[in-house]
Structure formats: structure tokens, C-alpha cells
Amino acid sequence: MSTHAKRERLLLADLLEAAGPGAPTLCEGWLTRDLAAHVVVRERRADAAAGIVLGPLKGRMERVRQEYAEKPYEELIQLIRTGPPRFSPFGLKQVDEAANTVEFYVHAEDVRRAQPDWSRRELDPVFADVLWARMERTARMLGHRSPVGLVLRRPDGRTAVARKGTPVVTVTGEPGELLLFAFGRQSATTVGLEGEEDAVERLQLSQLGM
């Protein structure tokens, strides 16, 4: 049975392949080649990928990513599609699901929504609930940069507080849209925002995400 992470991995690989190496993405300053190299380094070069969370290692991570970006694009796509190397923790189904489901979903949308003719992808209810559960657990981390109080709300009324404070802005949308919003893709999401006009504007311009 295919896992959510595996499905999103293959979708991401297909989107990157179809877009080609020079297409834009929602990751500022990155073309599809850069994004593909990031995904490969994160999964295959633990010595460099630590720079994602450890500031002092960011320089090394970027150097290694640039080295991979110079590889043939088709090779990068194949490395993504085939998955982590043998003996990698990412090769374990549980680790793959925990670490890659959201990662691959967000990056797949980074490719899709950078195109001018994109439309919102309809997610099946089970996958939507998986994304919501992940976001509930990480809401405070994702919202810590918010300049205002931030509440994320599903259409059915379920909420997650991403940042306490006033004034408060409530963002309403489907789980996938809320997740992308919380990851800093505010301009490319279909959500509703409620709150003071100035607070809403400040939130839309802020740098959310980990």
C-alpha cells in the first residue's frame, strides 16, 4: 500500500520533470533545479542537511546543494523518485511518513503554484486530516514569526492557535491551504482572513514558517 509520503514524492518528481530545470518555484530565488537539489541533499547528505536547522551549518548545506544543482537534472529527478539510499533512516516507512509527507506536499505545491495557470488541488479527506494533524502539532513553531495573534481554522470550525497575542487574525481554509499559508506561501493560497485591516496586511507580508 502506497503511503502519503511516497505518493507525494512521486508527484513532486513528476511535476519537477514536467516543468524542466529552469521553471520558477514559490521558494524565493530557487528554480526547479535548485529545489530538486535541495530535496536530494536533504535526504542523501545528512552531513550537509543538518544546516536546515543548525544555523552555523547553513553555509555548508548551501555549498553542497549548489554542487548537486550542477548535476544533470534527469539524475536529480531519478534520485528523488527512487527515494533514500539503503540504510538511510528515511528508508523506514514510519520515518518517511513523519519526515516527508508535509515536505513533499509543500514542495509539490511550490512547483505547481508558481505556474500562472495553477488551480487548487482537491485533497482526499484522509490526506487532508493527516495534514491537519501535522499542522496542529507544529502550529506554534510555524507561527512564531507572525507579527499578530494567529488562529488557523478549518471550514468545519476546528482551530489551531499558531500564535497568541492581539490583534488576532483568523485564517480559514482547507487543511492543505492552511498548511501552505503557515509555511509562508501566503500569496499562493486560497483562504479567508478575518481581523483588523492593518493586522491582516502585516500577516500577509510576514515571513511565516520554521
The Cα–Cα gap between 175 and 199 comes to 22
Are residues 140 and 104 both part of a single domain? no
Please give the model's pTM, rounded to 2 decimal places: 0.90
State whether 138 and 77 are in the same domain.
no
Last residue of a domain, one of 81, 112, 143: 112
Judgement on whether residues 8 and 79 belong to the same structural domain of the protein: yes
Length of the chain: 210
Provide DSSP, 123-190: PPHHHHHHHHHHHHHHHHHHTTT-SSEEEEE-TTS-EEEEE--SSEEEEE--HHHHHHHHTT-GGG--
Please state the domain count of the chain: 2
- Are 91 and 173 in the same domain? no
Q: Which residue, among 180, 145, 175, has the nearest Cα to 160 in the 3D structure? A: 175
pLDDT tens for each residue of 55-69:
555 666 788 888 999
- Residue where one domain finishes, among candidates 77, 112, 147: 112
User: Quick one: 184 and 106 in the same domain?
Assistant: no
Supply the range of the domain harboring residue 99: 4-112
What is the tens place of the pLDDT at every residue in 152-198?
A: 999 999 999 999 999 999 999 999 999 999 999 999 999 999 999 99
